Amino acid sequence: MLKRVLKASLCFMLALVLAGLFLRSCFVVRGVDDAAASVADADVAVRRAFNATLDAERAGANVSGLLVRLNDAGVVLGEAEVALNNGNLSDAAGKAGTCISIAQSVVSDAGVLRASALDGARMVFWTYLAFSVVGIGVFVVVLAVVWRRFKRGYVGNVLGMKPEVKHNEA
Amino acid sequence: MKLEDYKVVFVAVGLVGILLFASPALALVLHLPAGEKFSALYVLGPGHMLEGYPYNVSAGGEYLVYLGVGNHLGNAAYYEVLVKLRNSSDALPNSTLGVASDLPVLYRYEAFLADGQTWEGALSFSFSNVGFGENVSSVGMVRFNDVWVEVNKNAVWDSVNSGYFYQLVAELWLYDTTSDSFSFHNRFVTRWLNMTAPV
């Protein structure tokens, strides 16, 4: 009886150890996958942040501050990749998270800068257009007035001229 | 001068004036062609100069160069600098076809640069697991900025230049927003390294 109990216990323990080994490998693989997915997400987030920055720049915004933060995100992303390659999964996932939060803040700020730059550009456009249209109108009217006065003066001068008689001494 | 001549002068002055007043609005619509667009990639020695590059290297030694990138593309750019190691039989990047080397990437830099901005990054490196056989040397591990990478690369004895030569290759890649991927930007720099036995 005791022998049977011992045998059953041994089998149970063996099964437990085998299951533990299997589960451990499952958890490690799962951990690698998760960390790799986080780093890949961080990479995508950085690219998206750069696209948003480029859009803001095309709208005329000053993006130098955003580029500094993107460089910070790039450094953190590089560190996450190194940590992932070294098997330091928690560090990789943590740095990937930091990178994603920097990238998201860049996207948000780039949107604000872009909107502000577009508003500014619209304002400048209408101001310049108004200046040009009004300026041209005033200039043409002034020039027409000057021309009319000049023409009147010129004609008056011509009509007021008297013929000069000269003697031929030869 | 006749009245008709004065009229011509007034019309000319009028046209010049109209152009002057229209120039602010025209400047918003018309854009002058930009200058040549390009990127620069360079390598400097330990003193940030074009001299003092490491040449004779050995296991355990510490070496330093600086890699630099200049953006003259007219807009912000997202660059990658990929560091690779080759021997004399490995293929270099093909600048005619614009194809990068197929060697594995050992180290990677990322740089976001505004137009006209330059970036410089330190690249310190050392070698480990270096062996010498009959007319052949081998390098097992290389460290780039505190990151050890397994390379397992061999170099045969170069009898012409008397050495076992490896070459550090840095390639410039540029992020393309349309394809959402990096592509080789057809710029690369190299430095020859002669592997010697430690004294």
- Residue-number span of the structural domain to which B20 is assigned: 1-32
CATH number for the domain harbouring residue B146:
2.60.40.10
Q: How many distinct structural domains can be found in chain B? A: 2
- What are A78-116's pLDDT values in tens digits? 999 989 988 899 999 999 999 999 999 999 999 999 999
Residues 6+ apart with CB under 8 A from B140: B128, B129, B130, B131, B150, B151, B152
Please check whether residues B147 and B188 belong to one and the same domain: yes
Q: Is residue A5 part of a domain?
A: no
Q: Are B52 and B102 found together in one domain?
A: yes
Mean per-residue pLDDT over chain A, rounded = 87
**Domain match, B24 and B69 both:** no
Shared domain for B28 and B84, answered yes or no, is no
- Say if residues A35 and A61 touch (Cβ distance below 8 Å): no
% of chain A exceeding 70 in pLDDT = 86
Provide the number of structural domains found in chain A: 1
Q: A24 pLDDT exceeds 60?
A: no
CA A162 to chain centre: 78
Q: Which domain holds residue A78?
A: 25-159
Q: Per-residue pLDDT for B149 more than 90?
A: yes
C-beta of residue A139 within 8 angstroms of C-beta of residue B35: no
Q: What is the mean pLDDT of residues A49-78?
A: 96
With respect to residue A136, please indicate whether it lies within any of the assigned structural domains: yes
- Based on the fold, state whether residues B147 and B169 are members of the same structural domain: yes
pLDDT(A14) > 80: no
Nearest CA in chain A to B175: A47
- Going by pLDDT thresholds of 50, 70 and 90, the confidence category of residue B52 is very high
As a whole number of angstroms, the distance between CA B185 and CA B174 comes to: 6
- pLDDT of B1 over the 90 cut: no
Please check whether residues B130 and B54 belong to one and the same domain: yes
Q: How confident is the model at residue A16 (pLDDT cuts 50, 70, 90)?
A: low
Residue A163 is predicted with a pLDDT of 74
* Same-domain status, B63 and B117: yes
Mark whether B44 and B24 lie in a shared domain. no
Please indicate, yes or no, if residue A6 is contained in any of the structural domains.
no
| pLDDT at position A17 over 80 | no
Q: Are residues B144 and B77 in the same domain?
A: yes
Q: What is the band of A168 on the pLDDT scale with cuts at 50, 70, 90?
A: confident
Task: Tell me: do B12 and B91 sit in the same domain.
Answer: no
Candidates A70, A81, A102, partner chain B, best to mutate (most B CBs within 10 A): A70
> Could you tell me if residue A9 is inside a domain?
no
- As a whole number of angstroms, the longest Cα–Cα distance in chain A is 167
Same domain, B21 and B70: no
Looking at residues B122-145, what average pLDDT do you find?
A: 95
Interface of B with A (CB under 8 A): 3, 6-7, 10, 13-14, 17-18, 21-28, 75-76, 78, 108-114, 117, 147, 175, 177, 180
Query: Could you tell me if residue A86 is inside a domain?
Result: yes
Residues of A in contact with B110 (CB under 8 A): 46, 71, 74-75, 77-78
pLDDT of residue A22: 53
pLDDT value at A1 more than 70: no
List of E strands, chain B: 38-44, 56-57, 63-72, 77-87, 107-113, 118-132, 136-144, 147-158, 163-176, 181-195
B68 or A85, which is more confident: B68
ipTM over 0.95: no
Per-residue model confidence (pLDDT) at position B198: 80
Round the average pLDDT of chain B to a whole number and report it: 94
